Amino acid sequence: RVREAVVSTQSTGPRMVDMKEKLAEFWKEEASVAQPKKHTLQPIVTGTSVLGIVCTDGVVIAADTLGSYGSLARFRDITRLMKVNNSTIIGGFGDYADFQFIMKLLEQQTIDDDVVGDGVYRDAPSIHNWLRCVLYNRRSRMNPLWNTIVVAGRDFSGKPYLGYVDKIGVSFTEKSVATGFGSYIAQPMMRRAMEENPNMTVEEGKKLMERCLKVLFYRDCRSLNRYQIGVVTATDNSISEPMSAATDWSIGANPSGYE
């Protein structure tokens, strides 16, 4: 009997495991089990308005540092502006987790450009078009990134550039853009300032942003008086440290008729 067992083992040999078959069986079993699609149905932690304006010598972009958990002012020190490279800064409105995902994608794009080492980089129009494709692709798969992105920077010729793209891939360029509640309150302020001062400089644009953000803090319950301002010029591409605007709530006693 022992001899027969040895002969049987030698004749058949050890059975090789086919990993392709195992994987096919695994995915067949997974497909047979009904599972719900795991898509983001609504934003959770969100950021409000992002503002941008084109000046004669560059572009100014601004956003506050609040991440709202519903109506709760939960995270007061988040960064919604990102320096992509030496020519571009982006600002994110909407779900902050999705914006972090977009920032990781752009960081990897920048790393890939540096690794190639040919001196070629993506300018602001290139990044704007790439973001449009990414957001439209996710929307087409019925799993959108719940963000509106403002792209501020320069093109290869050095000309100031300001672009807008939302979660379904709608994109355009304009002299001034605003997202969220800022499109109702800050955008008219920026347009009026540009009409009164067509040759606005970056320094004047920064003061205008501070004024718009202060008004938004008074009017938008999802905003904060702590903000950052980004500047892209021929010689500078930087994002400021968080700053706080001085506010005066004594004016709250003036409006009447809402009791």
Tokens 């195992």 sit at which residue?
22
CA dist., res. 200 & res. 39, Å (int) = 44
User: pTM score, two decimals?
Assistant: 0.82
CA dist., res. 118 & res. 111, Å (int) = 13
CA dist., res. 180 & res. 166, Å (int) = 11
* Cα of 59 vs its chain's centroid, Å: 17
H-state helical runs in 117-227: 124-140, 182-196, 202-219
User: What local confidence, expressed as pLDDT, does residue 2 receive?
Assistant: 46
User: What local confidence, expressed as pLDDT, does residue 35 receive?
Assistant: 65
Residue 53's pLDDT band, with cuts at 50, 70 and 90, is: very high
Tell me the per-residue pLDDT of 81-101, one tens digit each, with 9 for 90 and over: 999 998 999 999 999 999 999
CA dist., res. 258 & res. 190, Å (int) = 28
Q: Would you tell me how many other CB atoms lie within 10 Å of the CB of residue 108?
A: 10
Q: What is the mean pLDDT of residues 152-167?
A: 95
CA dist., res. 49 & res. 227, Å (int) = 11
CA dist., res. 32 & res. 223, Å (int) = 47
Q: What is the mean pLDDT of residues 173-187?
A: 95
Number of alpha helices (DSSP H) and beta strands (DSSP E) in the chain:
6, 14
Contact in structure between 74 and 120 (CB atoms under 8 Å): no
Contact in structure between 48 and 181 (CB atoms under 8 Å): yes
Residues of the chain with pLDDT > 90, as a percent, come to: 68
Contact in structure between 109 and 122 (CB atoms under 8 Å): yes
**Catalytic residue annotation:** 40
H-state helical runs in the chain: 2-12, 19-32, 96-116, 124-140, 182-196, 202-219
Residue 115's pLDDT band, with cuts at 50, 70 and 90, is: confident
Host H or E run for residue 35: none
Tell me the per-residue pLDDT of 6-30, one tens digit each, with 9 for 90 and over: 444 455 555 555 666 777 777 777 6
Query: Is the Cα dihedral 206, 208, 212, 215 positive or negative?
Result: positive
Distances, alpha carbon 238 to alpha carbons 133, 218, 233, in Å? 26, 27, 9
Q: What is the mean pLDDT of residues 201-209?
A: 96
